[in-house]
């Protein structure tokens, strides 16, 4: 038996930034929310936040870093961003949502 988001049983986690809490509420309003789907929405928003944070680091520090051998390497935040965005796509599919429509 799925609980409605409007029942106030489920709330966005406090560790999400304000923009992600709004997105959590927006996404939760699109689906029939139960404990499992609330966890998926939380994981989705956390990974969007991680990808956004990684993008900020990349924008500030650049796409490459210099290692201890003075060789250019891809910034480690690129892998973090890639992995988070891959998980975001999987979570959208798991929730039955259209990624393109949400953006």
- What are the pLDDT tens digits along the chain (103 aa)? 444 445 458 999 999 999 999 999 999 999 999 999 999 999 999 999 999 999 999 999 999 999 999 999 999 999 999 999 999 999 999 999 987 656 5
For residue 47, how many other CB atoms are within 10 A of its CB?
Answer: 20
**Where do the structural domains in the chain lie, given as residue ranges?**
39-97
Residues 6+ apart with CB under 8 A from 27: 41, 44, 45, 95, 97, 102
Euclidean distance between CA atoms 29 and 45, whole angstroms: 14
pTM, full prediction: 0.85
Phi, psi dihedrals of residue 6, rounded to the nearest 5°: -70, -10
Euclidean distance between CA atoms 26 and 42, whole angstroms: 12
């Amino acid at each position: 038996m799925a609980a409605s988001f409007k029942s106030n049983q489920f709330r966005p986690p406090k560790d999400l930034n304000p923009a992600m809490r709004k997105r959590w509420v927006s996404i939760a309003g699109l689906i029939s929310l139960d404990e499992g789907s609330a966890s998926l929405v939380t994981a989705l928003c956390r990974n969007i936040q991680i990808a956004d944070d990684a993008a900020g680091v990349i924008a500030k520090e650049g796409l490459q870093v210099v290692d201890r051998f003075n060789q250019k390497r891809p910034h480690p935040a690129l892998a973090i961003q890639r992995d988070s965005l891959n998980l975001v796509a999987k979570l959208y599919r798991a929730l039955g949502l259209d990624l393109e429509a949400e953006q």
